[in-house]
Structure 1
Amino acid sequence: MSKLGLDPATAARARRLAARAAEPIIEMARTHTTMSVERALLRLAGLSGADPGGMPWVNHLAEAVRAQVGIEHGVALPVWDALLTGPHGGLRELAEAAAAGRVVFRLPEGADAAAARRAAGRAAEAGLARIDARRAERDRLLREVGDPPHPWIYLIVATGDIHEDIPQAQAAAREGADVVAVIRSTGQSLLDYVPEGATREGYAGTYATQENFRLMRAALDEVSAELGRYVRLTNYASGLCMPEIATLAGLERLDMMLNDCMYGIVFRDINPRRTFIDQRFSRQIHARAGIVINTGEDNYLTTADAVEAAHTVIVSQLLNERFAHEAGLADAQLGLGHAFEIDPALPDSFRLELAHAQLVRELFPHAPLKYMPPTRHMGGNVFAGYLLDAFFNLAGMMTGQSIILIGMMTEGIHTPWLADRDLALENVRYVRAAAGRLAEDFAPRPDGFIAQRARRVLAESVELLERICDDGLLHAIADGTFGVTCRPPDGGRGLDGVAERADGYYNPAIELLDGRPSAHHDAEVPA
């Protein structure tokens, strides 16, 4: 039963419109590839490491293939053909030779193509088997160690030095954090390669690397055993290397990844086409790995007015849901984001926040919603900030949010100190203990302010989705519909790494993730 008196037919219409709006984007993602999608296959097949200058071997190998035969057929056939017909002992040796200009790639045909398909298929299957094993490992630990109840307390660490992050993350877990997010170094989303190894220098964050993932996961496993509850690890799958970072996250058993359909476009000026194509593959990996995605609708409200733009959050969530379902993600993996960002000076601001939060809760009843704290209206008055965070925590409890990110009273002044984090944890612990199961008792009047506001936002969402269906999602993004930022379809970074798939395109990872049988089980192609 809807507490807000939402019309089920209106909600169903909103979902149908979101599916219509998403369909051209899904078709584009199914018929194109990118450099990062192809590099992700190589990482899945086990290629790692970097040259002395820090450039990963996957980049060298993919670039060599693109320079000689293009990527519109995928890198799988040229790469595994070169392995089968040349003197190279493995992907690493082949990549080193390709970087030195000692490999001639071709598009094999006939029996040679069939052999390359079989070899590439076996390599992709082995990589996905490793991801499957890590997912099974998580399931076992959740049974043995224990899974904390909702709402999960989500806390950020990021010093730039992974070896400093680890003790901070363990301390945060001991103080009550259920999810630890390691913020990525500023600007990493704009790098068209994934740094290698453990890193000790970052800018307002720590680099996302496979080794950093491994180190932090091991540290949180240690503290999970100590505390008797599984502590989840989050990082960021966005930017120009989204598919690769998703793959590394699956291989290293991360539990959540920030992965939004439009965040990189709007806030990092990454090309829209590149983003949507990369995102489909990354979400397929997340689905296979059992990773919960966190979407970024809260960011819209840092640039747009949280009242006037409330319906754009709902529209983005519905689009994120559709893209996620198409890629294989279950509702239990949809950490849809929203935020407590209404100006506190506005009359009835808390009632408006409750309306928006309850609307999201009812539209997505089975999703582990991620609720973000106030940031835009946090200023120099730390006492007012602490109070505002308490109101945010209360709203989260009243509306049954699943994941509550810790608000910091000093974030409007400086990067919060550890003592500020402790106070923030004390705040949320008090509200969570005092409010208990308050969501069961929160029932707005059917025709009261909160219910009417929620129904109005839903109606505005339907109107916007109708316009998007008529004009196209890429046009809506170009017009600044989301986050008041205009991003044209052919602008931004990364478009040069996009290619339309040619007839005969082959990527065994995509075939396996799409549920098609691996190529090496097929009959040989005749010569």
Structure 2
Amino acid sequence: MSLLGLDPELVAKARRLAARAAAPVIDLARAHTTVSVERATLRLAGITGADTAHRAGDVPWVNRVVDTVREHCGLEHGAALPVFHALAEHNLGSLTELAEATAAGQVRYRLPTGRDRTRAARTARTAIARGIRTLDRNRTQRDRLIAKLGDPPQRPWIYLIVATGDIDEDVVQAGNAARAGADVIAVIRSTGQSLLDYVPEGATHHGFAGTYATQENFRIMRAALDEVSREVGRYVRLTNYASGLCMPEIAVLAGLQRLDMMLNDSMYGILFRDINPVRTFVDQRFSRQVHARAGIIINTGEDNYLTTADAVEAAHTVTVSQLLNEHFAHEAGLADWQLGLGHAFEINPDIPDSFRLELAHALLARELFPDAPLKWMPPTKHMTGNVFRGYLLDGFFNLAGALTGQGILLVGMMTEAVVTPFLSDRDLALENVRYVLGAAGNLREDFRPAPDGLIVKRAHQVLGEAVDLLERIVDRGLLRAIAEGTFGLMRRPEDGGKGADGVVAKADGYCNPAIDLLEAES
């Protein structure tokens, strides 16, 4: 039952406008590939490891191969055909052997034709299909573990971050967090990894303000949380970041190691990491196709807009971004239950009725996306050194989550923006969440905002402003809207940003069996 009395015609109009705004960008994404999409494709085919003898440091074999293919014959037709033709031509037994021969200068890549092309396409499809079957097996295993161990007994799921820089230390903190009540563990990435155009190899112990996202780190943490899940009697989910210049590759690695959630926003990298818009939209479409197949829940990043723009004045831009993220996700094959659309508790607490405004925004998101496990983010922008005030703000945030039926509740820290939280801070924060959710119980069934009250009026106002903005975006184009600073006050031109040189227009006859297999399933 609707508590806000939203006009269903206006809601439908908003979705139609979002689809129209997204359509040219989807066409652009379909018409291009990137170096990361091609690397992700080869990762599905089984390539792993790195060139440890390189003078400038370890270079992943997949980077070595894709860069050489691009140098020899371009990526306009994809990497799969030249790679699997070279594999047969040189009678090599694995992609790793091919990479080693490539590094030694023994391979000259070319685009095969005729029977050679047919043979290379068939062999590539077989290898990539094996990788996709691994995604399928991991999805089935997750379902079996949830059936056996059980899901958390309540919603919202309690989501807590670890960020030591050392995967072994992360394992200890994650286990303790799960024992203390966390349902989802997010491993923060090392600062700046989103701007690396390669994925490091192996276990890492030296990240700054986070731990590197690598396949081995994913494996280690998933295995540790499986053990803790059996101990606590519920399936504990694992989150990382499919964003930045290696978004598609990290999505693949997450699926191969059975991660459960990935931060994956359509515009975050553009706005907050200055990554080229076209690169980002191409990469996010492929990554979401992988997430859809792997049964991974995505978390989007609308909460970040409210750290740079005013949370009241810019509230409608969050709604617009949520609608766009929803459409991009559906087009890539994600279901509603996989859409952890983001929003945040970021209104200045000194504003009169700030809590009522927060309730209006949270309830609007809940009613616009009734089947999505919304990810509700705690206060950060207005946290200060007054940890007592911060703890109280987090309590209000938790109460808003209980009242409005949020799906994923990120645990707020009273020391946010002051220090990296101590273990004791996390324990107190979890205590806050447990108390509020336990005391509130099913208070949501008693919560009925007045039809002519501030909460309902504010929600209608934000929806109306969102529709007006979507109409302007349809007229001017989404890429232009981004360039003009519509979201988060960040101005990002279409031809600017990092990674633009990694975007390639597809030629007629472009071949990528991974996309074909993923789209066929979708």
TM range (shorter): over 0.9
1:3 aligns with 2:3: yes
In the TM superposition, what is the alpha-carbon distance from 1:218 to its structure 2 partner?
0.3
Deviation string, structure 1 residues 107-149 (Cα, Å, up to 9, x no partner) = 1111110000100000111010011000000000000011113
TM-score (norm 1): 0.97
Alignment of 1:152-231 (within 5 A): 152-231=157-236
- Cα separation, 2, equivalents of 1:441 and 1:507: 53
- Cα separation, 2, equivalents of 1:358 and 1:129: 39
Equivalent residue, structure 2, for 1:25: 25
- Cα separation, 2, equivalents of 1:347 and 1:485: 28
- Cα separation, 2, equivalents of 1:440 and 1:8: 22
TM-score (norm 2): 0.98
- Cα separation, 2, equivalents of 1:68 and 1:39: 16
Residue identity matched to 2:20 = R
Equivalent residue, structure 2, for 1:43: 43
Equivalent residue, structure 1, for 2:291: 286
Alignment of 1:94-493 (within 5 A): 94-148=98-152, 149-493=154-498
Equivalent residue, structure 2, for 1:523: none
- Cα separation, 2, equivalents of 1:50 and 1:82: 19
- Cα separation, 2, equivalents of 1:99 and 1:269: 31
Task: Indicate the SS of the match to 1:338.
Answer: strand
Equivalent residue, structure 1, for 2:14: 14
Task: Indicate the SS of the match to 2:459.
Answer: helix
- Cα separation, 1, equivalents of 2:22 and 2:37: 20
In the TM superposition, what is the alpha-carbon distance from 1:463 to its structure 2 partner?
0.2
- Cα separation, 2, equivalents of 1:61 and 1:479: 38
Task: Indicate the SS of the match to 1:257.
Answer: strand
> Residue 91 of structure 2: which of 87, 91, 94 is its match?
87
Ranges in structure 1 where 5+ consecutive residues have no aligned partner? 518-527
Equivalent residue, structure 2, for 1:34: 34
Residue identity matched to 1:230 = Y
Task: Indicate the SS of the match to 1:241.
Answer: helix
> Residue 500 of structure 1: which of 478, 498, 505 is its match?
505
Residue identity matched to 1:426 = E
- Cα separation, 2, equivalents of 1:171 and 1:33: 42
Task: Indicate the SS of the match to 1:240.
Answer: helix
In the TM superposition, what is the alpha-carbon distance from 1:412 to its structure 2 partner?
2.7
Using the TM superposition, name which of 140-149 and 316-325 deviates more. 140-149
- Cα separation, 2, equivalents of 1:455 and 1:398: 19
In the TM superposition, what is the alpha-carbon distance from 1:87 to its structure 2 partner?
3.0
In the TM superposition, what is the alpha-carbon distance from 1:516 to its structure 2 partner?
7.3
Distance verdict in 2 for CA 1:203–1:456, change over 3 Å = same
Using the TM superposition, name which of 495-504 and 80-89 deviates more. 80-89
In the TM superposition, what is the alpha-carbon distance from 1:413 to its structure 2 partner?
1.4
Residue identity matched to 1:500 = A
Deviation string, structure 1 residues 245-274 (Cα, Å, up to 9, x no partner) = 000000000000000010000000000000
Distance verdict in 2 for CA 1:180–1:516, change over 3 Å = closer
In the TM superposition, what is the alpha-carbon distance from 1:97 to its structure 2 partner?
1.1
Using the TM superposition, name which of 254-263 and 91-100 deviates more. 91-100
- Cα separation, 2, equivalents of 1:67 and 1:82: 15
Task: Indicate the SS of the match to 2:409.
Answer: strand
Task: Indicate the SS of the match to 1:153.
Answer: strand
- Cα separation, 2, equivalents of 1:120 and 1:88: 14
Deviation string, structure 1 residues 71-103 (Cα, Å, up to 9, x no partner) = 010001100001111132210011111122210
- Cα separation, 2, equivalents of 1:187 and 1:516: 34
Task: Indicate the SS of the match to 2:4.
Answer: coil
Distance verdict in 2 for CA 1:516–1:397, change over 3 Å = closer
Residue identity matched to 2:340 = G
Residue identity matched to 1:124 = I
Residue identity matched to 1:154 = Y
Residue identity matched to 1:101 = G
Residue identity matched to 1:245 = I
Q: How many matched pairs?
A: 517
The alignment yields a C-alpha RMSD, in angstroms, of 0.8
Task: Indicate the SS of the match to 2:244.
Answer: coil
Residue identity matched to 1:78 = P
> Residue 67 of structure 1: which of 68, 71, 76 is its match?
71
- Cα separation, 2, equivalents of 1:380 and 1:361: 32
In the TM superposition, what is the alpha-carbon distance from 1:39 to its structure 2 partner?
0.2
State the identity %.
72
Task: Indicate the SS of the match to 2:245.
Answer: coil
In the TM superposition, what is the alpha-carbon distance from 1:167 to its structure 2 partner?
0.7
Task: Indicate the SS of the match to 2:491.
Answer: coil
Equivalent residue, structure 2, for 1:524: none
Task: Indicate the SS of the match to 1:156.
Answer: strand
In the TM superposition, what is the alpha-carbon distance from 1:357 to its structure 2 partner?
0.2
Residue identity matched to 1:12 = A
- Cα separation, 2, equivalents of 1:132 and 1:54: 31
Deviation string, structure 1 residues 441-471 (Cα, Å, up to 9, x no partner) = 1111111110000000000000000000000
Equivalent residue, structure 2, for 1:521: none
- Cα separation, 2, equivalents of 1:434 and 1:180: 24
> Residue 55 of structure 1: which of 46, 56, 59 is its match?
59
In the TM superposition, what is the alpha-carbon distance from 1:201 to its structure 2 partner?
0.3
Task: Indicate the SS of the match to 1:200.
Answer: coil
- Cα separation, 1, equivalents of 2:461 and 2:257: 44
In the TM superposition, what is the alpha-carbon distance from 1:158 to its structure 2 partner?
1.1
